[in-house]
Chains A and B, each alone.
Chain A
Amino acid sequence: MTVVDAAALTAWVREFARLVHDQRDTLTQLDSAIGDADHGANLDRGMTAAVAALEATPSDDPAAVLKTVATTLIKTVGGASGPLYGTFVLRASGALDGGDGAALAAALRAGYDGVVARGKAERGDKTMLDALGPACDALDEALTAGKALDEALGAAAEAAAQGRDATEPLVARKGRASYLGERSVGHVDPGAASATLLVEAAATALAGRG
């Protein structure tokens, strides 16, 4: 059954853009504490451009939708989040093979692996991987257990949020927050926060699709 089609992915992208825009100031505040106070503004600019690009060049091909988003993010965001989110979506686009939940899970896993390679980071470094990793695991687990996609995405969103919250006591080992050493403890990682929005957006946008 095709549930992950171009329309569904476009809805996901739109919902993520909406969440980032709504929480732009929250993301920037998190980044002010342990980074350089631009995460909300940068991601908002990139996702606004991504939505505009999808409107300018709509496609029925799900992989093409993701590729448009990826190249737009790489072209517009800059910083670390541009290449990292861009790589996540680009790898997901390349790996997307089929229209069911398992295909989406495999695409997200490929995206996650791409971020690991590009950022040379791992889980526990206090980065977006701490939200994306648990989300991918939860999605795989739920689908393997025979759960429907929307239920599985709900579990993934919950796992992402838990992963995000678990970054608070960590010492940052990658990215700008790592310069703070012990002083990064006690703050949620902004990248893990925005990555959680990405997974939550998927759960919302694909709800009711099976």
Chain B
Amino acid sequence: MKKLINDPADVVPEALRGLAAAHPELRVDHENRVVFRGDAPRQGKVGLVSGGGSGHEPMHAGFVGVGMLDAACAGEVFTSPVPDQVVAATRGVDGGAGVLHIVKNYTGDVMNFEMAAELVSAESDTEVVAVVTDDDVAVQDSLYTAGRRGVGVTVLLEKLAGAAAEEGRPLAEVADIAKRVNATGRSMGMALTSCTVPAAGRPTFDLPDDEMEIGIGIHGEPGRRRVPLAPAREVAEMLVEPILGDLDMTGGDGVIAFVNGMGGTPLLELYLMYAEVVAVLEKAGVGVARNLVGSYMTSLDMAGCSVTLLKADDELLRLWDAPVRTPSLRWGA
């Protein structure tokens, strides 16, 4: 394992120290490993709390700031935060208008956020609503699985719900927008390599040079199937077609198209992939209204990408264009 670390056990707290040093506009609670907006809590504004395992940077701490999250809880690498962290974050962003928990659909994340919400409601009047993202079409949504994983839509949701909260909309409306985003967004990912969890010291799985994994999540877990390596053009089809097969994206105001890097893939390849994705969408009669290209939700040093498509409408596009000022997403502010 070759990594820029000191000790595998200290990766998360040491990275948070760096984040705090680089972004004095944020406030970092090192004891609870929670990153807050510097001006949290904002009176009268719905507080947005997300969090999850570390190793997906910039998600979530990189999205704390104006027009997006009020706090992010950093768990151990690929391990959801514990309830105490989420409780601290919830208390710290409660400006009297309630708190929205944005949770990715993983067994651990859901349970820890649920336990935190139970603790908060037992101790205070703070209203907490949770929205769970489950947009990964690689996973069968049935009673016989843990359900679909929350992946790329989470980033878009944090931006869109964050903009709604910044406008001063009440908790119920912000939660409705968040649920609508999750309901109309779908994702599919692929990996060219595995990733190395610092504490494990070696790649999570072996992937030969001439093969790739289709249908991966964001934790270095193997995907749904392993196939021979193919040109980007074909990879784009393998990712976009299952999404379009799952949800009709034609008509209306087009889509927000998000090509996300898994951490070890250069932007050169991501833009190349974006062109291929647009070509597949054109052929399918799907218009692109907005886009996002870059590594925003990573799986440590994994090479690969994911594609997320979100069916847009007037309101969502307006919220997308609203100002945002965070370490990793900023425009108009």
Contacts and interface: CB of A to CB of B under 8 A. Distances in A.
A82 B204 contact: no
Interface string B73-90: 001111111111000000
Contacts of B222: 34, 180, 183
Interface residues of A, number: 33
B146 A179 contact: yes
A203 to B, nearest CB: 28
Nearest to B299: A36
A182 to B, nearest CB: 9
B329 to A, nearest CB: 26
Contacts of A89: none
Interface of A, secondary structure class, is helix
Contact of A37 (B115, B146, B197): B197
Q: How large is the interface on B (under 10, 10 to 19, 20 to 34, 35 or more residues)?
A: 35 or more
A35 to B, nearest CB: 6
Contact of B115 (A33, A45, A74, A179): A74
Given A36-B197, A41-B199, A181-B140, A78 B76 contact: yes
Contacts of A33: 205
A86 B108 CA distance: 12
Given A80-B111, A176-B221, A181-B224, A38 B76 contact: yes
Given A83-B108, A183-B222, A78 B145 contact: no
Contacts of B225: 183
A175 B219 contact: no
B82 A76 contact: yes
Contacts of A38: 76-79, 197, 199-200
A37 B108 contact: no
A37 B204 contact: yes
A47 B311 CA distance: 46
B144 interface: yes
A74 B138 CA distance: 31
Interface string B249-293: 000000000000000000000000000000000000000000000
Interface in B202-251: 204-205, 217, 219-222, 224-225
A183 B224 contact: yes
Interface string B121-139: 0000000000000000011
B78 A37 contact: yes
A13 to B, nearest CB: 19
Nearest to A28: B200
Contacts of B77: 38
Residue among A38, A74, A76, A176 with the highest chain B CB neighbour number at 10 A:
A38
A83 B221 contact: no
A79 B80 contact: yes
A146 to B, nearest CB: 39
B145 A179 contact: yes
Contact of B145 (A79, A80, A81, A178): A178
Given A37-B197, A37-B220, A179-B146, A83 B78 contact: no
A179 B205 CA distance: 15
Interface string A40-54: 011001000000000
Contact of B108 (A41, A45, A81): A81
A147 interface: no
A40 B109 CA distance: 18
Nearest to B199: A41
Contacts of A79: 53, 75-76, 79-80, 108, 112
Contacts of A75: 82-84
B82 A74 contact: yes
Residue among A79, A81, A179 with the highest chain B CB neighbour number at 10 A:
A179
B220 to A, nearest CB: 6
A118 interface: yes
Contacts of A37: 78, 197, 200, 204, 220
A76 B33 CA distance: 12
Contacts of B112: 78-79, 82-83
Contacts of B144: 173, 178
B149 interface: yes
A179 B217 contact: yes
B197 A78 contact: no
21 contacts: A33-B205, A36-B78, A36-B197, A36-B204, A37-B197, A37-B220, A38-B78, A38-B197, A38-B199, A41-B199, A41-B200, A42-B79, A74-B83, A82-B112, A83-B108, A174-B146, A176-B219, A178-B139, A179-B138, A179-B146, A183-B225
Interface of B: 53, 75-84, 106-108, 111-112, 115, 138-140, 144-146, 149, 197, 199-200, 204-205, 217, 219-222, 224-225
Given A178-B139, A179-B221, 10 more contacts: A33-B205, A36-B221, A37-B197, A41-B200, A75-B83, A80-B108, A176-B217, A178-B145, A179-B149, A183-B225
